[in-house]
Structure 1
Amino acid sequence: MFAQIKRLGADSLLYAFMNVGTKLIAFIMLPIYTSFLPDPAQYGVLDYLDRVTSMLTFVVIFGTDSALAFYYFDTEDKKKRLDYVRSVMTFRMLIVLIIAIVFLVGGEWLAQLLLKDAALYYLFYIAIGVLALDTVIALILTVLRYDFFTKKVVTFTILKMLLIALFSYGFLAYVSPTIDGILYGRLISVAIVALLLIKPLIKFIKFTFNKKLLKEILVYAAPLVPASLAFWVIVNANSFLLERFTSFHEVGIYGAAVKFASLITLLTSGVQMAWRPFSMSLKDRNDSPVLFAKLYYGILLLGTIGVLAVATLMPWIIQMLNTNYHEAYQYVAVLSAVTFLNFFYMIISVGIFFSKQTKIISYAFGIAAVVNVILNVALIPSFSIWGSVAAYLISYLIAITYIFFKSQKLYHVPVSFGKMTFLFMFSLVAVMAIVYIQESSISDWNIVFAWIGYVVVVLLSRIDKDLLRKKSAAN
């Protein structure tokens, strides 16, 4: 067991380094973007376009990432593994081609519908080019990750972000201080990385595929597609409905807050990258439930601490932005909690993926997506961005609760749902107390009491005692 934890730890540290690097680059670029795009409405259009692209990414992937993870580790035959990868690559590129044709034919109409300006149709063309190259890069890096070539994955991922930062700044500063400059910077950057990965690219691209293997992949993946679309609705409906009920200004403020909320992924994303191959490699071990229990509790504890840290530091961090964006800081802490839940559902759903009951994920996030839309429509007109934040949080709480209980039925992990829920909900109370203190005339030193309360709750929960009792029983 120790050797397995050591591997997860080593890979997680490297992936954490990678994600710290990429997130820091993104954070550095955000104030640069807002300085060249001082009107939040301009940044709102960019954020809106990015959300459309993220939806298209879900369509391209079509759940094949989870399917490939399962079948890649389900066989030791290297040729069969290669056939799986080639089939996935061909499928994804075919979807990209279909999307490109749609935007070539209806670009102006879609630009008018989505961006309120038909003249911006060319932005879609650049975005599709980035999508195509990113599709290739993502699959190559996925396979390298499955083969535990962690250092290569880290190197190329950081390189891509650095290039995007450099070229985007170059275009903004010297060519076009507009959204165009950012998009052209992205396009050139991913093209360079794709060229550097030309050797595995040639190996994986084969415009024929094994029909039997592709069918296996799609049968596994298809139930995840509604979940992917539901994810997109949950994550992005907020921005679309904010634009509908308010304006691109609010979209820009909300988008900036979401970017800062991703600070929490500095703690979680390394584990997320390493989790799937790690957990799948342990599915047949007798002692795995006890190990997973330790990880459930430990990761939840680290995540909630991270959320409180983000809440505490955000008023100072947000000052790096143009003053027109400063109001975004008050939303960041709660959005960070939701960002953590978006990661944590993958941790507590091992039973679902072990048993291939992936349709459960679709049900959970399908329900959450409907709830999210209803709450956004009900709350945004009265509470604006806060209404959207509340809808986002509630929908994720519903999804993760459903997923946990379903996963436990399929593969029981000895943890207490009550203790985990109590710990997370009190962390939210502490976060809201911190935000209230920051927004009022109360001295910021009172934030210490929110932290003390959180520590007391952690000590009272005694999750360590529960874990030791379960381990003794297992032995």
Structure 2
Amino acid sequence: MTPKKIAAFAIGPIGAALLSVISLPIVTWLFSQEDVGRLAMMQVTLGFSILLFGLGLDQAYVREFHEAEDKPALLKQTVLPGFSLLIVTLLILLSLGGTLSDWLFGIPETHLSVLVVVALLASYISRFLSLVLRMNERGLAYSMSQLLPKLLLLLIIGSYAITGVDKNLTMLVLANVAAISFVCVIYAWNTREEWYRSLRGKLDFVRLKGMLKFALPLIPGSLAYWGLTAVDKVFLRTYASFEELGIYSVSVSFAAAASILQSVFSTVWAPTVYKWASTGRGLDNINKVSRYILALVVLGFSIAGLMSWVVTIFLPNDYSAVQWIVVSCIGFPLLYTLSETTVMGIGITKRSSFSMAASALAFCVNLVGNWLLIPRFGASGAAVSTCISFLVFFVLRTEFSIYVWRPIPRTLLYTYTGIVVAGASIFTLWGELLGIWMSVFWLFVLGSCFWVFRREVLEVLRLILGYKRKFSTGPSA
């Protein structure tokens, strides 16, 4: 993948994250904490349904794409089984009236159930159509399909503020369903040739059986990872309140800004490493890249700890706890990104069962952590439990990769990640009481980061100065 194509794919995640940060404060001012929390339950359900009803065939589509002669037929074979199962399930749920809405929102309203069903269908279809764009390396179309719905959601929420319509759950869900449906429409338009041809394609049941044999064993691992990232919201719904869930979902949304690093890095990293592995050259760079990402992780935690108070400027007073919770919430994207640099041995040796084991074990840790912490600390407990779980996830992926491939230096990795996760957990649970001492802690961690990684800092500065000098002098005569 060329740098130009990488940049095209990166526009979407970066732009979508920025638009989300802009729209989020508006939502908190217009809608109640309970409704923001209820919306989080719908988002959890959407993620779960894609994993469950996709039957792992989305990954089978990626695996078979380059080998398939009839790619539209491949699309039909991977979409149809899960889609049929999803339709049957949704018809049953609709026949129960407001039951689905009651499960998610605690409000048994039929119209809310219908809106959720529309979102489930649109999300499922969008998942597969997005893969068509990705596999055909149509980065700009893929990015626009992510950006435009976020812009639409911002416009709808903005119109609510201007027109003075009722700020209730129905209007909030409607805005999000409209954006999700718009995603589906854009994907359908950008892939119209592929899916139209797929309608006329023949089903190869022998091949479908082979793909299911590959895909179905992936579901437990995918569900374990989903649980690792979503079980905190389920526990908050069960053991706390929608208000706590609303505070937590806002904290997670702010922390999602750190996922820009995850999205861009993941797009570039895996293809590069597999290319190194195929040629047998460049693999020594993995340790070097790990140090750079570790430095960014420590820097991210430190800056978040020192500057988290800034979020309170944009949020209502009811969300003051977000400034403490958000620091633990960034553990998910940052530690996941770091684990991507150390887990490559599992991918290179094709021992995917170890990756699934890491997800399952970390999920179990998160289950126990949420069960212990949420009844006492609410949203803060959920954030700490998930942050610690991703530290376990990172360690397990690293150790499993070493076991199946080769050793890597990890003393510094474990020391610094342990320090920042411990600091983030204390900051989230007791930061308000400790006050200035937490600022001293984060300043110390930040200073040590610049000292320990001074070589990397100097290399980055030389690179920046080199580019600056090159563009300031212009092309030589």
TM-score range normalised by the length of the shorter chain: 0.7 to 0.9
Find 2:195's aligned residue among 201, 206, 209: 201
**TM-score when normalising by structure 1:** 0.83
Q: CA deviation at 1:440?
A: 4.5
Amino acid at match of 2:384: A
Counterpart residue number, 1:468: none
Per-residue CA distance 1:207-240 (angstroms, 9 max, x = gap) = 7533333333333322321122222222222222
Q: How does 1:7-406 map to 2 (within 5 A)?
A: 7=2, 10-37=4-31, 39-73=32-66, 75=67, 79-119=69-109, 121-170=110-159, 174=163, 175-189=165-179, 190-191=181-182, 192-197=185-190, 198-205=192-199, 208-280=202-274, 283-406=277-400
- Counterpart of 1:454 in structure 2 is 449
Cα distance between partner residues in 1 of 2:167 and 2:14: 27
**Would the alpha carbon gap of residues 130 and 114 (structure 1) be closer, same or farther in structure 2, given more than 3 Å must change?**
closer
Deviation at 1:409, TM superposition (A): 3.5
Using the TM superposition, name which of 131-140 and 428-437 deviates more: 428-437
Distance 1:460 1:439 in 2: 37
Identity %: 18
Pair 1:416-2:405 in alignment:
no
Q: What is the aligned partner in structure 2 of residue 467 from structure 1?
A: none
CA distance in 1, matches of 2:439, 2:102: 49
* 2:137 alignment partner, SS class: coil
CA offsets 1:25-64 (integer angstroms, 9 cap, x no match): 1111111111211x31221111122212221122133333
Query: In the alignment, is the contact (CA less than 8 A) between 1:12 and 1:271 conserved in 2?
Result: no
Kept in 2, the 8 Å contact 1:172–1:178? The answer is: no
- C-alpha contact (below 8 Å) 2:36/2:246 kept by paired residues: yes
Which amino acid counterpart does residue 388 of structure 2 have in structure 1? I
Deviations 1:364-385 (A, max 9, x none): 2222222211221122222333
Q: Is the 8 A contact 2:277 2:283 kept in 1?
A: no
Unmatched segments (≥5 aa) in structure 1: 465-475
Cα offset, 1:261, TM superposition: 1.1
**Post-superposition CA distance 1:307-329 (Å, at most 9, x none):** 33333332113321222112111
- Is the 1:267–1:303 Cα contact (8 Å) retained in structure 2? no
**How far off is 1:283 after superposition?**
4.6
Counterparts of 1:172 and 1:218 in 2: how far apart (Å)? 48
* Equivalence for 1:427: 420
Alpha carbons 2:262, 2:336 under 8 Å: kept: no
Q: State the distance in 2 between where 1:91 and 1:345 align.
A: 33
Say how many residue pairs are matched: 451
Cα distance change of structure 1 residues 184 and 458 upon mapping to structure 2, 3 Å threshold: same
Contact 2:79 2:128 in 1 (8 A): yes
- The structure-2 alpha-carbon separation of the partners of 1:444 and 1:283, relative to structure 1 and needing over 3 Å to count, comes to closer
Letter in 1 for 2:448: G
Change in CA separation of 1:389 and 1:206 when aligned onto 2, cut-off 3 Å: farther
Question: Conserved in 2, the CA contact under 8 Å of 1:304 and 1:427?
Answer: yes
**What is the identity, as a one-letter code, of the residue corresponding to 1:53?**
L
- CA 1:213–1:126: 2 relative to 1, 3 Å: same
Counterpart code for 2:279:
R
Distance 1:153 1:112, change over 3 A: closer
1:162: how far off? Answer: 1.4
Task: Give TM-score scaled by structure 2 length.
Answer: 0.83
Code of the aligned partner of 1:296: S
Change in Cα spacing, 1:58 to 1:279, as seen in structure 2 (3 Å) is farther
Alpha-carbon distance between aligned partners in 2 of 1:155 and 1:417, rounded to the nearest angstrom? 39
